[in-house]
A and B are shown apart, each in its own frame.
Chain A
Amino acid sequence: MNEALQMNEALQMTSIAADEPEAGDDIDLASLDDSELTAQMHDDLYDGLGEEIVEGVNILLERGCSADKVLNDALVEGMRIVGVDFRDGILFVPEVLLAANAMKSGMAILRPLLAETGAKPVGSVVIGTVKGDIHDIGKNLVAMMLEGAGFDVWDLGINTDADEFLTALNEHKPDILGMSALLTTTMPYMKVVIDTLVEKGLRDDYIILVGGAPLNEEFGSAIGADAYCRDAAVAAETAKELVSARRFTA
């Protein structure tokens, strides 16, 4: 951010500081205008307040805001801020989890509306830890960050074999297949899954992201994944980028 912009933002903040609610205040969301409400929703997401997010989403929709706009301006933008502060060490993992859950409760309202209007949701992901592997902490963090970024996530859990991945892909038709492995003994199985997709002529239907501590970039490309993601924040970023690139070219 350049300095002028930063100044500008600081000035704006001081100018509205007098009306701004103090932390802990009970706020009547309905009394806020759209832009105040959107800003408040960013704060509520930041604070992980699911009920308030649901209320805010409903108010905006009642006022005639499109689902698309609520999603992008209130939720996705709010979670972007959460992401920045997580990256910068201000927000902690449990707080991001709460924020992602609040985001999810907002998404639950928006999802059917987005489908009705044909507006594109952020994207969807089927994710799992591969066969033979029970490490799931990293995968859970990735799922959390993806949900926080607005993705619909189907988490298949641990010890997932190719058949289970294929069944889930067929059922949910996601944009992305995400696989996690923490063992050198199980990471080759990611290739088994990808090869199965190639065999069935389905490989190009999905963006494939892989991750897990013993992997690296080289391994990711060697097995034919679209990207290796070193951590959960990168996974969410990469997911957004690749989905939009694909939509752009499609």
Chain B
Amino acid sequence: MKEPATPNEPATPNEPSAGRGPRRRGGGRAARQAARATSTPAAPYLLRRVPPVDILDDESLAMIERNAETILSQVGIAFQGFPSALELWRDAGADVDGELVKFPPGLCRQIITDNAPEVYTQHARNPARSVQVGGDATVFAPNYGSPFVMDLDNGRRYATLEDFKNVVKLTYSLPQLHHSGGTVCEPVDVPVNKRHLDMVYSHIRYSDKPFMGSVTAAERATDSIEMARIAFGGDLADRTVMTSLINAASPMRWDATMLGAATNYARANQACMISPFILAGAMAPVTVAGLAAQALAEALSGMAYLQLVRPSAPMVFGMFAASMSMATGAPTFGTPESGQAIYVMAALARRLGVPFRSGGQFTASKLPDAQAAYESAHTLLPTMQAGVHFVLHAAGWQEGGLALGYEKLILDADQLGAMEVLAKGVDVSDNGQAMEAFFTNPQGEHFLGNQHTLANFETAFWRSDIADCASYEQWLDEGSLSAADRANARWKQLLADYEPPPIDDTIDEELRDYVARRKAEMPDEIG
């Protein structure tokens, strides 16, 4: 399980040759057009070559860990409505009083360090897109959970299955997104107890990137597992093909729905992101160190529980930190404090030795506007610099998670491309140093025709698909478009160009049958 997949590293640029090399025919216009039209195959995930940024010293981190142990042993964590969890905890030596569990100091940590994998591979339907979760890899997945969608043409509206499929298709088409995600938006037009079937099917059918399963009921997790078994063939005991989102009911609670889903996934060797999701101020103290101690305590208890269910179950330490505006009560996103929380929690996860999920591109803005861009950047940079392994909500999040923005999805994905460059670090190889260029370039002249430039220019600079850097007049001629306007045109183009990945007909049929049968077995339910 620890053997990570190898990402396709972008081809290294040619070594520079001194002076002018022999001239070769390049195939002229047709060849160049063809070459520029097809982008290099996207890497299945990003490899970080730069060390993570720590904003706290070891002593402070150790103090937060002690505080978390104090919370675990003296305040306790409730495991609500799920007696089998209490049974496991009693056997493991915790103090169980009603539904409240108090853990001897060090117990949760010990269970995790003894059992949990540091890194695992989540297999994709297309093996070239399998992702490594943990280590020096970062995986980007789109928005999750929004009941609404918004785009410039139609405004904000409840999301439908059509929207859901569109987002899956767009995510498949966007090379910066490595993972298809889960509930990318909520298909509100499908009955509550049947949605998950359509969602899982859409991920499998319209994408070949890895995906997440349903968590809104234990039996929906089971359906997700069954469908994955059909799609991947056979028992999944040896392969992890889903990583699903399990939120804590902060403060200091785990609820029966999440415990039920997590238990079923763990038993089937499928991964869970055990995520405290905290609005500081309301669900935790207002300070970063206070929030960190609580989030660590919650995550430790949830992760240790998973390891009790199935030792060495693949899992991720998750943390989502935002805050509640003390002035209005509204959730806020992209604030500097939540950035600090990401750095601190990532460091705590590293010390524990498990993969870490956090960050994304968050905003409370209702539009793909300046607020959205700034707030998103304020989460994305800490996410990258902290060395987060799995980034849910990496693109599309708008309005505090209430809406998926079509344009925002495109704008965000563009920024993820820039992160790839940052993560790679600075090339100090011979080619990176570029000393040849100085020796071969006439003193004081521009470098545009230099062999080193010719050998490197295509990949030297990250190029935005969206940003406009043309002259004012050209911009005017082209319709005075904003970034959001350009993103609007791009998602439409991507959808128009979309072609589904291949799928074996018999597998597709079996999946459809499964969905049809399960739907027929249940009356439509609301709730």
Residues of A within 8 A of B (CB): 89, 92-94, 130-132, 134, 137-138, 141, 183-186, 188-189, 191-192, 213-214, 231-232
B34 contacts the other chain (Cβ, under 8 Å)?
A: no
Docked complex: B176-201 residues within 8 A CB-CB of A: 186, 188, 192, 195
Q: Give the size range of B's interface with the partner.
A: 20 to 34
Which B188-241 residues have a C-beta within 8 angstroms of A? 188, 192, 195, 216
Contact with A along B309-324 (1 / 0, CB 8 A): 0000000000000001
- Check A213 against B402 for contact (C-beta < 8 Å): yes
Cross-chain pair count, CB within 8 angstroms: 52
B352 near A: Cβ within 8 Å? no
Are B216 and A185 touching (Cβ within 8 A)? Answer: yes
Query: Secondary structure at chain B's binding surface: helix, strand, loop or mixed?
Result: loop
Q: Are A137 and B283 in contact (CB under 8 A)?
A: yes
Residue on B with the closest CB to A90?
B327
Docked CA distance A101–B195 (Å): 43
Task: Tell me, rounded to whole Å, the shortest Cβ–Cβ distance linking A109 to chain B.
Answer: 29
**Bound Cα distance from A108 to B257, whole angstroms:** 38
User: Among the listed B147, B279, B329, B527, which residue makes an inter-chain contact with A214, where contact means beta carbons less than 8 Å apart?
Assistant: B147
Whether A186 contacts B527 by the Cβ 8 Å rule is yes
> Considering the chains assembled together, what is the distance between the CA atoms of A93 and B286 in angstroms?
13
Q: List 19 A-B contacts (CB under 8 A).
A: A89-B328, A92-B326, A92-B327, A93-B281, A93-B324, A93-B326, A93-B327, A93-B329, A130-B527, A132-B257, A184-B147, A184-B158, A184-B188, A184-B192, A185-B192, A185-B527, A188-B192, A188-B526, A192-B526
Q: Among residues 253 to 295 in chain B, which have CB atoms less than 8 Å away from a CB atom of chain A? A: 255, 257, 279, 281-283
Q: How far is the CA of A232 from the CA of B255 in the complex (A)?
A: 26
**A89: min CB distance to chain B, Å:** 5
Shortest A231–chain B CB gap in Å is 7
Residue of A at shortest CB range from B216?
A: A185
With beta carbons under 8 angstroms apart, the residue of B186, B257, B282, B283 that contacts A184 is B186
Q: Are B329 and A231 in contact (CB under 8 A)?
A: yes
8 Å CB interface, B156-191 against A: 158, 186, 188
A134–B253 alpha-carbon span in the complex (Å) = 11
Chain A residues closer than 8 Å to B526, beta-carbon distance: 188-189, 191-192
Cα of A214 to Cα of B403 in the assembled complex, Å: 9
Residues on the A chain within 8 Å of B147, using CB? 183-184, 214
Task: List chain B residues, Cβ under 8 A from A232.
Answer: 329
Complex Cα distance, B526 from A191, in Å, reads 9
Q: What residue of chain A has the Cβ atom nearest to residue B258's Cβ?
A: A134
Q: Which residue of the partner chain B has the closest CB to A214?
A: B147
Alpha-carbon distance A138/B147, docked complex (angstroms): 17
Minimum CB–CB distance from A178 to chain B (whole Å) comes to 16
Say yes or no: B255 contacts A141, CB within 8 Å.
Answer: no
